[in-house]
């Protein structure tokens, strides 16, 4: 018998208690509340750090910038303020690119390291973690909680449950408030809230988010990930045999078996897994990772911490459960990251979306111009024989004050005249102002039915502030 | 006959058997369903009494129902009127102003002229487009242009805002004497060639026609310079725009048969929208501004007569 095994067996006295915590495992179908054990470890710490990013949701909206809320998604007035930037509905195409960017980031990360978002960043994961943390502080460790759930109702149980749900509700309300204040002035909202002066919509949003948080994080918990969340399903198919994910090393661990106090075999026939169920104990979604990769696994790495802890304890090397790809676990040659073409496709699309957004942000402009040529009639013959076209101008002024523009044109027909070109047009701030412009050109200079013409509007006080639009001048057939 | 694999379990059937072994069970519908049906039937009667649902209309009156508790008798007409009132309240701010304003003053006010263009578009479509075409592009029948194009800057009766308003309110009736009796066919031919050339700026190339034009009654209405007189609606013959048909044949027909002068003549009649009573004063003002803004409106300070053709 090797020295190592002897040593391990000698230590089973302290590991035996592990078995008392969990005797069996069934597929989680929701009829039983999962009370996961909290164990310290690398991934546990990492998870606390990543989850704390959500503090931004709670406190970011109070940040002020030039006397205004720094980030204000003002849907009522149809404009987004992000520090110095104001984004109007006309720039909303960038939001589409932003969504594409986020989706592709999710895909790329998932194809490399599986459901990183689910395990470390998702609000459902974070809020459930917070809620169960509160639960543990009040009701005790998982075993105590199971007992409490099964116990008859008495004063102590009522008191504990009451406190727990009160704290849960308080967190939920604060979540609802913190969500809403990104869409209107945070301080004004608090003022309105405390004086019970919210609008019907504001009350509805607050109640919906409070109840949503309370129910999803307090009661549905991992069930949300199992059957409610579409991303769980989408991300499941993003992983392939090259993707690294928390996996159980079957070849090393099997056959699993309990460490017995009295080992009578001369040679250890068992694998490294001592079947202590610690990996199941700590799993927030009630998964047994040793059954293989599965839908319920949010790849949070908590079972890695648990298993490493046990391996340390029984004196076997760490990493029986570790981040590894299917290729590695099955002994196939492991490819490098750059040999994963699918990831590069995601990264490519991601970069395209990103450059689109950067382009958009750099070309927001303060004036935009749209010109619609009249469709009926396309052109009019005037009494002197010249041809007149009518255009509807829409000028969007993104500055914060009204201004006047003058109109000029490039291209078009020789000798064309913009009627009343010297007239300054008022353009209101923050919205599109429309006016009509007529252009007249001598018939003999019109060479084709459709001639390109580029209009320009220019702020009368700031010649650098211009906008252009390319459209056409229509004429008769010659 | 096959064995019946789905025995009814002792529930009586209706007695009909299809396809050897299919029968209907005579189960009662669920109680909640029966209660719902009964409640619905009662509700139908209540609803029928509360709302104007009984189709008796005698002398324009109808059974208005006993009304809703609290809110009184409901009719669709009342609801429509309430909805319209909301709209009217929004508009009244502008409409009240328009009542006391001249068309020229409305035109000068940017906000108001924007407002009247919106309702002007609807009014034009309902009242004017039948002859003048959508957006005033004119309509053409087999004789040529049926009603004038309103987007250009050639106006028979003047193109200032007041002229246009007067035309819409009072209507117009064109007139031109037929010349089939006073002129010989070759004279008509010559004068037609002359005015055609005139519109292209080459009037002097047709001396024969010019002679006819100057010596017959043409100048009485169109003037010796052929530029017409807006006071009487005679057309300017020197510009490029033709009221009826600018082809040589078309011009000859106009000269031969005249306008509004007998069965063969051309027709040019615009009704008076004021006497027709269909449009209010404000609506006529709105239309005047709308038509002016088509692109041909003539500013008051500009001389009404168009400059000579090229």
Kindly list the averaged pLDDT for each block of 10 residues, start to end, along chain A of length 478. 48 57 68 88 95 95 90 88 83 90 93 92 95 95 92 93 96 96 94 93 95 95 90 86 92 82 59 90 92 89 94 91 91 85 93 94 84 92 92 88 91 90 86 88 92 93 90 90
CB atoms within 10 A of CB B77: 9
Q: Which domain holds residue B212?
A: 130-292
Q: Give the residue from B145, B230, B240 with the most A CB atoms within 10 Å of its CB, the best one to mutate.
A: B240
Task: Name the residue of chain B whose CA is nearest to A385's CA.
Answer: B240
Q: Give the per-residue pLDDT at A24.
A: 65
The reply to whether residue B309 touches residue A381, judged by beta carbons under 8 angstroms, is no
User: How many CA atoms within 13 Å lie on the side-chain side of A231?
Assistant: 19
CB atoms within 10 A of CB A222: 22
3-class SS string, A118-157 = HHHHCHHHHHHHHHHHHHHHHHCCHHHHHHHHHCCCCHHH
The reply to whether residue B310 touches residue A385, judged by beta carbons under 8 angstroms, is yes
The domain boundary residue, chosen from A193, A220, A236 = A236
Task: Provide the percentage of residues in chain B whose pLDDT is more than 90.
Answer: 57
- The counts of H helices and E strands in chain B are 12, 6
The domain boundary residue, chosen from A181, A207, A236 = A236
The Cα angle at residue A343 between residues A342 and A345, in degrees rounded to 5: 65
Q: How far apart are CA A93 and CA B5, in angstroms?
A: 63
Radius of gyration of chain A (CA): 33
Residue among A380, A383, A384 whose CB faces B295 most closely: A380
Contacts of A377 in chain B (CB under 8 A): 135, 137, 151
Weakly modelled stretches of chain B, pLDDT under 50: 1-2, 302-310
The answer to whether residue B149 sits within a structural domain is: yes
Give alpha helix (H) positions in A270-340: 278-281, 302-314, 326-329
Contacts of B296 in chain A (CB under 8 A): 380, 382
Domains of chain A: total:
2
Q: How far apart are CA B126 and CA A201, in angstroms?
A: 41
The answer to whether residue B65 sits within a structural domain is: no
State the smallest CA–CA distance between residue B279 and chain A in angstroms: 25
Q: Give the per-residue pLDDT at A14.
A: 53
Domains of chain B: total:
1
Q: Give the per-residue pLDDT at A239.
A: 87
- Burial letters for B26-35: b for 16+ Cβ neighbours within 10 Å, e otherwise? eeeeeeeeee
Beta bridge partners of A189: none
The domain boundary residue, chosen from A236, A253, A268 = A236
**One domain for residues A187 and A48:** yes
* A475 SS3 class: coil
Q: Give the per-residue pLDDT at A16.
A: 59
Q: Which domain holds residue A129?
A: 33-236
The answer to whether residue B17 sits within a structural domain is: no
The reply to whether residue B239 touches residue A384, judged by beta carbons under 8 angstroms, is yes
The answer to whether residue B66 sits within a structural domain is: no
Q: Is A309 exposed, middle or buried (0-12, 13-18, 19+ CB in 10 A)?
A: middle
State the smallest CA–CA distance between residue B236 and chain A in angstroms: 9
The reply to whether residue B236 touches residue A376, judged by beta carbons under 8 angstroms, is no
The reply to whether residue B135 touches residue A374, judged by beta carbons under 8 angstroms, is yes
Contacts of A390 in chain B (CB under 8 A): 151, 295
The answer to whether residue B14 sits within a structural domain is: no
DSSP A383-441: TTS-EEEEEEEEEEE-SSS-EEEEEEEEESSTT-EETTTTPPEEE-TTSEEEEEEEEEE
CB A472 within 8 A of CB A442: no
The reply to whether residue A383 touches residue B239, judged by beta carbons under 8 angstroms, is yes
Q: Give the per-residue pLDDT at A260.
A: 65
CATH number at residue B272: 1.10.760.10
Residue among A377, A385, A426 whose CB faces B151 most closely: A377
Residue among B110, B153, B295 whose CB faces A383 most closely: B153
CATH number at residue A386: 2.60.40.10
């Amino acid at each position: 018998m090797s020295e190592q095994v002897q040593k391990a067996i000698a230590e089973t006295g302290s590991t035996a208690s592990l078995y008392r915590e969990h005797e069996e495992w069934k597929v989680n179908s929701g009829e039983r509340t999962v009370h996961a054990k909290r164990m310290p470890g690398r991934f546990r710490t990492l998870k606390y750090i990543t989850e704390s990013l959500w503090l931004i949701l709670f406190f970011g909206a109070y940040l002020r910038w030039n006397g205004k809320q720094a980030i204000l998604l003002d849907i009522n007035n149809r404009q987004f303020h992000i520090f110095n930037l104001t984004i109007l509905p006309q720039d909303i195409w960038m939001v589409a690119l932003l969504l594409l960017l986020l989706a592709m980031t999710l895909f790329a990360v998932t194809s490399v390291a599986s459901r990183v978002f689910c395990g470390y960043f998702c609000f459902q994961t974070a809020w459930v973690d917070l809620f169960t943390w509160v639960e543990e502080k009040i009701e005790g460790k998982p075993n105590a909680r199971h007992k409490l759930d099964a116990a008859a109702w008495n004063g102590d149980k009522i008191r504990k449950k009451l406190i727990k749900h009160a704290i849960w509700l308080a967190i939920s309300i604060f979540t609802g408030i913190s969500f809403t204040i990104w869409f209107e002035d945070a301080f004004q909202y608090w003022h309105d809230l405390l004086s019970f002066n919210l609008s019907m919509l504001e009350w509805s949003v607050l109640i919906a988010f409070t109840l949503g948080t309370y129910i999803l994080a307090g009661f549905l918990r991992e069930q949300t990930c199992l059957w409610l969340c579409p991303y769980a399903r989408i991300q499941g198919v993003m992983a392939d045999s090259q993707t690294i994910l928390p996996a159980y090393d079957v070849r090393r661990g099997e056959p699993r078996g309990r460490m017995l106090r009295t080992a009578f075999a001369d040679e250890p026939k068992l694998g490294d897994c001592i079947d202590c169920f610690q990996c199941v104990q700590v799993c927030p979604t009630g998964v047994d990772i040793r059954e293989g990769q599965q839908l319920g696994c949010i790849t949070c790495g908590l079972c890695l911490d648990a298993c490493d802890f046990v391996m340390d304890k029984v004196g076997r090397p760490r990493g029986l459960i570790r981040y590894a790809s299917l290729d590695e676990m099955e002994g196939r040659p492991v490819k490098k990251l750059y040999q994963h073409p699918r990831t590069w496709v995601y990264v490519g699309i991601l970069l395209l979306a990103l450059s689109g957004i950067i382009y958009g942000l750099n070309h927001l402009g303060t004036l935009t111009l749209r010109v619609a040529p009249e469709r009926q009639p396309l052109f009019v013959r005037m009494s002197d024989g010249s041809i007149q076209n009518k255009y509807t101008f829409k000028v969007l002024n993104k500055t914060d004050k009204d201004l006047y523009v003058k109109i000029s044109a490039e291209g078009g027909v020789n000798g064309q005249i913009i009627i009343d070109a010297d007239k300054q047009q008022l353009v209101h701030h923050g919205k599109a102002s429309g006016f009509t412009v007529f252009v007249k050109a001598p018939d003999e200079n019109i060479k084709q039915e459709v001639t390109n013409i580029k209009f320009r509007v220019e702020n009368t006080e700031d010649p650098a502030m211009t906008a252009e639009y390319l459209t056409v001048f229509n004429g008769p057939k010659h | 006959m096959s064995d019946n694999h789905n025995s009814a379990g002792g529930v009586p059937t209706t007695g009909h058997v299809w396809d050897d072994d299919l029968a209907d069970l005579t189960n009662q519908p669920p109680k909640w369903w029966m209660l719902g049906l009964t409640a619905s039937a009662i509700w139908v009667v209540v609803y029928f009494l509360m709302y104007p649902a009984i189709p008796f209309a005698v002398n324009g009156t109808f059974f208005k129902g006993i009304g809703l508790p609290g809110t009184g008798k409901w009719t669709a007409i009342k609801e429509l009127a309430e909805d319209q009132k909301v709209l009217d309240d929004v508009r009244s701010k502008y409409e009240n102003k328009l009542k006391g304003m001249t068309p020229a003053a409305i035109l000068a006010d940017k906000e108001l002229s924007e407002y009247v263009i919106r309702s002007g578009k609807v009014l034009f479509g309902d009242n004017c487009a039948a002859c003048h075409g959508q957006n005033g592009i004119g309509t053409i029948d087999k004789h040529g242009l049926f009603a004038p194009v309103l987007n250009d800057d050639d106006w028979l009766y003047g193109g200032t805002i007041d002229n246009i308003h007067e035309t819409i309110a009072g209507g117009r009736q064109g007139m031109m004497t037929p010349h089939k009796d006073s002129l010989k066919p070759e004279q008509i031919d010559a004068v037609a060639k002359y005015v055609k050339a005139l519109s292209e700026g080459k009037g002097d190339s047709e001396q024969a026609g010019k002679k006819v034009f100057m010596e017959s009654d043409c100048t009485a209405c169109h003037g010796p310079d052929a530029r017409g007189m807006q006071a009487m609606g005679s057309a300017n013959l020197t510009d490029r725009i033709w009221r009826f048909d600018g082809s040589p044949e078309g011009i000859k027909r106009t000269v031969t048969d005249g306008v509004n002068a007998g069965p063969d003549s051309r027709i040019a009649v615009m009704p008076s929208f004021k006497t027709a009573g269909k449009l209010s004063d404000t609506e006529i003002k709105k239309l005047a501004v709308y038509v002016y803004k088509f692109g041909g409106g003539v500013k008051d300070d500009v001389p009404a007569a168009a400059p000579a053709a090229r």
